[in-house]
Amino acid sequence: MKKLLFTIVIGLGLLTTHAQVQKLSGPRIGLTFVTEGIAADFINEGFDYVDDDNYINGETGSAIISQYGWQWESRFADGGGDISGIVEWVALVGGMEKGLFLPSLSSVIGLRNSNGLEFGVGPNLSLSGIGMIFAIGHNFKSGSLNLPVNLVFVPGRNESGSRISLMVGFNMGK
């Protein structure tokens, strides 16, 4: 299944190189809520705490971190109708306010309608492993300025805790 998903992502990425109508990119900032688990324990207490022999998974509760990064976006299958296909790549660094460097990379394939409502799914790679990302958002437009607001969910795996993020940003359309 992972190989199939990876092949689809790469294939669509290659197709968008020629079919791309508009490229949008820009900075992203946001907050991520991490539910109880190993990831939240690490954020709250660090490596030494998680490596302690008396460690109990999730005992420090949940955590909240800031996110800072960049999004690259390509539109495809834009025939002038009400729906466009989009492929997004989002690179983020989280936890800097806590002295942490928590990188993540996501690729999202989805749809956006003419009103700016969008949703998508794709893989997410972070220090807690690889997972699936589910995103929904709205792109507010003012002239050529795009103001995307997205709500993102990454289910927890292997006792890592789930992540819920609220991301905002801006970019300029052509």
State the residue range of the domain holding 100: 2-172
Q: Which of 143, 44, 150, 52 is nearest to 102 (CA)?
A: 44
Which residue bears the tokens 């460097």? 101
Q: Which pLDDT score is estimated for 16?
A: 40
- The answer to whether residues 148 and 137 touch, using CB atoms and an 8 Å cutoff, is yes
Total-model pTM: 0.78
100 has pLDDT over 50: yes
The pLDDT of residue 172 is above 60? yes
> Which pLDDT score is estimated for 174?
58
CB half-sphere exposure, 32, CA atoms < 13 A = 28
Tens digit of pLDDT for each residue in 69-99?
999 988 887 666 788 898 999 999 999 999 9
Q: What is the pLDDT of residues 127-151, one digit of tens each?
A: 888 999 999 999 888 888 888 899 9
Hey, what are 101's tokens? 């460097």
**Closest by CA position to 143, among listed 99, 98, 173, 110:** 173
pLDDT range class, residue 106, cuts 50, 70, 90 = very high
Minimal CA–CA distance to 128: which of 151, 109, 103?
103
Question: What kind and span of H or E run contains 49?
Answer: helix 47-51
Q: Which of the two residues, 47 and 17, has the higher pLDDT score?
A: 47
Q: Residue 102: which pLDDT band, with cuts at 50, 70 and 90?
A: very high
- pLDDT over 90 (residue 49): no
Report the pLDDT value the prediction gives residue 64, as an integer from 0 to 100.
Answer: 94
Provide the number of structural domains found in the chain: 1
What is the total residue count of the chain? 174
* Tokens read off for 102: 């928590």
What CATH number is attached to the domain comprising 164? 2.40.160
